[in-house]
Amino acid sequence: MAVEPRQPTAIRVPGVVVLGLGAMIGLGPFLLLAPAAASAGIWLLAGLPLAAVTALCAMYSTSERSSIREHMGRWPGRVAGTGRFVALGCLAVVLARTFAEHVAPDQPDLAAFAVLAVAAAGNASGLLRWGSGLAWLIGGVVLLVLVLVIAACLAVAPPVAPIGAPAAQVGDPRSLMTAAAILFLGFVGFERVTAPADGEPQHGWRTTRRAIPVIAGVVTVLYALLGVALLHQLGPARLALSPAPLRDAVIAADGAVMVPFVEFGAGVGLASCLVLVLVAMRRMVVEAAIEREVATPLATIARAGTTWPIDLVVGGLVVLALPLLDLTGAVHLAACCVLVHYAFANAATRVELIDQQRTWPMRTACFGLGISVMLAMSLPPMTLLTTLVVLVVGSCLGALISHRWR
């Protein structure tokens, strides 16, 4: 079924902020603080500003709409595209697993497969489409849940440790860069604001530039308050081991009555972000089809303007990856791949702006390039090796299919 894009609607700064928040506060609050705590303990709070600055640089760079392929060449474009596609696939796996842990903890595998199937089928049918109105509703529900969790956790004293229990470990400050790399995933989704696709709500360049610091600031403050609240109730060790940190935190704060509300908010936020991730993967396939770097049947379908088979293929790929990736490995691989992508995005923006006498955007892009590489290199060695293999294989497959090696 061919899906006709809706006419874009111009929106103002508050609407842009809500769109950004709706795309960014799904995975971060409901999961990412746990693996960040596993890496750095309480030092995850020191890693959060690094993640926020990295995201801010990437947001400004992507708002310039610089083409990596055009400004850096075909191979850097393939590497960056492969990195982003794999990162989105890993994020889809993580979102599905986290959704299942909150909504159906007794049958997590079945629930993860089910939410992926529903999201893929909804995208293919064209039913799961929304603008700023639904974004306001989803963002409001998730924000209300997070505010209530923060208030409940900070208002109640944490459980007292038994006498003779070993002292809690505070974590390793040398791992705060790793925590920052993981927390950066909590900001991913901003391209819905900085580079909206055709048919999505549109806004001017000035509106985008004004909304960017507001979005980054709100998300950073929200994650910081949530991190303080969860560490207050659970401590770094329990937080690191929790598959559903918000649920465990409200239970520890004698707020078991809030658990259904938390699970509902998690389901809404995670499912909406999963839909957006699958849509982004479909768009990448369509863009690759234009460059003739995907299999011929998909390229033919994409150029014909029919997207539902691509939605089903993308959903099928994620379903196949679901049993192959554990939660921590998928988070690490997604973080490394997406940081590689935004390193190239910052570099492309820097190259484009060389002759435009715009000093601060160039400096922002340079700084974003450097810090993206540093955060990626702080991840575990096995993650770096896996990322290298994935990027090489993906780039070579693109070259083989397109018969263009340079």
From first to last of its 406 residues, what are the pLDDT tens digits of the chain?
A: 444 444 445 577 787 888 888 778 878 899 899 999 999 888 999 999 999 999 999 998 888 877 787 778 788 888 999 999 999 999 999 999 999 999 888 898 899 999 999 998 888 877 666 666 777 788 889 999 999 999 999 998 887 654 443 444 556 677 899 999 999 999 988 888 887 766 666 677 788 888 899 999 999 999 999 999 999 999 898 899 898 999 999 999 888 899 999 999 999 999 989 988 998 888 888 877 776 666 666 666 666 666 778 888 888 899 999 998 899 999 999 999 999 999 999 998 888 887 777 777 888 899 999 999 999 999 999 999 999 999 999 888 877 876 665 5
Burial of 145 (0-12, 13-18, 19+ CB in 10 A): buried
**Are 282 and 126 within 8 A, CB to CB?**
no
| Residue 165 neighbours by CB under 8 Å, 6+ apart | none
Q: Give the ranges where 104-173 is alpha helix by DSSP (H).
A: 108-125, 132-155
Tell me which residue of 63, 148, 131 sits closest to 276, measured CA to CA: 131
What's the DSSP call for residue 204? -
How many Cβ atoms are within 10 Å of 133's Cβ, its own excluded? 11
- Which one-letter amino acid corresponds to residue 272? S
d(CA 123, CA 137): 20
Tell me which residue of 37, 57, 56 sits closest to 47, measured CA to CA: 37
Structure tokens at 11: 């929106």
What's the DSSP call for residue 128? -
